[in-house]
Amino acid sequence: MADNYLHLDVVGHAGKETVPPEMDSLIFLTERGQAQRLGASPALLARMEKAFFGDSPQTFSVSGHRCTAMVVAPDKELETLRLAGASAYRLIRKHRMHALRIKGLHVLEKKERYAILEGMILSSYSFDKYKTEKDKDTVIAHLPARLFSQADLQELKILTEAISLTKTLVNEPPNAMNAEQFAREVQAAGKRFGFDTEILKKSEIEVLGMGGLLAVNRGSTVSPTFSVMQYRPAGAINEKPIVLVGKGVMFDTGGYSVKVGGNMISMKSDMAGGAAVLGTMTAIAGNRLPYYVVGLVPATDNKIAPDALVVDDVIRMMDGITVEVQNTDAEGRLILADALTYAKRFDPDLVIDMATLTGASAAITGPYGIAVLGNDQIQIDALKGIGEEVYERLLQLPLWKEFRELLKSSVADRSNLGGPIGGVSTSAVFLEHFTDYPWIHLDIAGAAFVKEAKGYRQKGATAVPVRLLYEFVKSRIKRR
Catalytic residues: 259, 333
Four-CA torsion 446, 452, 455, 461, nearest 10 degrees: 60
- Residue 54 gets the label, from left (phi > 0), alpha (psi -120 to 50) or beta, of left
> Which among 371, 283, 299 has a CA at the least distance from the CA of 336?
299
What's the CA gap between 215 and 22, in Å, rounded? 63
Cβ of 313: how many Cβ atoms within 10 Å?
A: 17
Residue 328 in contact with residue 257, Cβ under 8 Å? yes
**C-alpha distances out from residue 268 to 52, 72, 246, 289, 300, Å:** 49, 41, 15, 31, 11
> Which among 273, 429, 281 has a CA at the least distance from the CA of 354?
273
Backbone angles phi, psi at 406, to 5 degrees: -75, -15
Residue 352 in contact with residue 280, Cβ under 8 Å? no
Instruction: Give me the residues paired with residue 441 across strands.
Output: 353, 373
Residue 12 in contact with residue 145, Cβ under 8 Å? yes
What's the CA gap between 212 and 301, in Å, rounded? 13
Instruction: Give me the residues paired with residue 315 across strands.
Output: 323
Under 8 Å CB-to-CB from 232, ≥6 apart: which residues? 196, 241, 292
Judge if the upstream peptide bond of residue 465 is cis by omega within 30 degrees of 0: yes
Between CA 11 and CA 18, with CA 13 as vertex, the angle to 5 degrees is: 135
What's the CA gap between 318 and 449, in Å, rounded? 30
Q: What are the start-end ranges of the E strands in 327-429?
A: 350-355, 369-374, 393-396, 414-415
What's the CA gap between 38 and 18, in Å, rounded? 21
What's the CA gap between 302 and 389, in Å, rounded? 36
Residue 222 in contact with residue 179, Cβ under 8 Å? yes
Residue 463 in contact with residue 166, Cβ under 8 Å? yes
